[in-house]
Amino acid sequence: MRDFLTVDRVANQIRLRRSTYTGTFLLVEGSSDKTFYTRFVDQLVCELVETSGKPSSKQRAIEILKILEESNFQGVLAIVDADFDRFETLLYTSPNLLRTDSHDLETMLINSPAFNKVLAEFGSEEKIAQFTQDVRLVLIENGISVGYLLWISKSNGLNLTFEGITFSKFLNERTLQIDELKLIQEIKNKSQAFSLNEKDMQERLKSQKSNNHDPWQICCGHDLVEILSFGLRKALGSNKAADVEPNSLERSLRLAYEEIYFYQTQLYLDIKTWESKNQPFRVLRNYT
């Protein structure tokens, strides 16, 4: 139902809720984000509000925050995925708007010890040992090609479709290396962008990769999980596709993510800073 509510309606609901609730309102993008952050939030003093819908959950979270801030509403905080924000001129900044440490929540999960647990659970020790690199590095070195193409598409208004691309069409099942031309062809076909010049896209991708950006800011977590899912069927393990499908793996990563990992993030420190500047409002559970 929330998908059909305008940002004004959601902002008004929060204002009305304030008459009976004195705690913090924490805006998060989607249901998986809400599930994740609920573990660290003191629900007696902080209420999570999911902002999923169109045009995008992130944009909706920011718009709702702006509306509330313009009316001097106190005790509201938004946490959104960083995406490519750290490389772009931001349209809106606010001390009440925080971003994930890396590109998104899923990359934060993969770049934590939770990943090692999931890999140990679903992977084959013998097969993993055949890789000369850490599996995490294999994922980000290949996932970065998809991330850069997404950034190129967004920056140039190409409106290419990345959702639903079939990774098996451009991933080597033995090495997990990406064939970049086949990747571009798959995105071109999925987008029905038949006038897209493949060689030009290859050159743009090559140019972007030469900038040596932090791959954790470029790679999309969902893409890394797709590569991991593909790898756990043959290169890294012997699982059936249904047992390691991406949504299931992301759920496993969230479950394997311990509180102590969160306490070591910049996001945690940012929330603590927000709490200290916005007393008496609180977000996090106290821990010892």
Buried b (16+ CB within 10 A) or exposed e, 239-253: beeeebebeebbebb
Determine the Cα–Cα distance for residues 140 and 260; give it in Å rounded to an integer: 24
Token pair in block for residue 33: 């984000």
Sign of torsion, CA 119 120 122 127?
positive
Q: What is the pLDDT of residue 17?
A: 97
Q: What is the pLDDT of residue 5?
A: 81
At a CB cut-off of 8 Å and minimum separation 6, what does 202 contact? 180, 181, 184
Determine the Cα–Cα distance for residues 191 and 161; give it in Å rounded to an integer: 5
- Mean pLDDT by runs of 10 across the 288 residues of the chain is 75 97 97 96 97 90 97 98 94 95 98 98 95 94 97 96 96 96 98 95 96 96 98 97 97 97 97 98 85
Token pair in block for residue 79: 């946490």
CA distances to 11, 51, 71, 150 from 58, in Å:
15, 8, 21, 16
Expressed in percent and rounded to 5, the helix, strand and coil fractions of the chain are 55, 10, 40
Among 262, 253, 256, residue whose Cα is nearest residue 283? 262
User: Between vectors from CA 101 to CA 187 and to CA 67, what angle results, nearest 5°?
Assistant: 85
Evaluate if pTM is beyond 0.85: yes
What is the residue type of 11? A
Query: Under a CB-based contact definition with an 8 Å cutoff, are residues 205 and 179 in contact?
Result: no
As to burial, measured by CB atoms within 10 angstroms (0-12 exposed, 13-18 middle, 19+ buried), residue 156 is: exposed
What is the residue type of 126? E
At a CB cut-off of 8 Å and minimum separation 6, what does 109 contact? 115, 221, 250, 253, 254, 257
Query: Under a CB-based contact definition with an 8 Å cutoff, are residues 283 and 271 in contact?
Result: yes
Among 162, 168, 222, 156, residue whose Cα is nearest residue 189? 162
Token pair in block for residue 117: 């647990």
Token pair in block for residue 6: 């305008």
- 69 in helix, strand or coil? helix
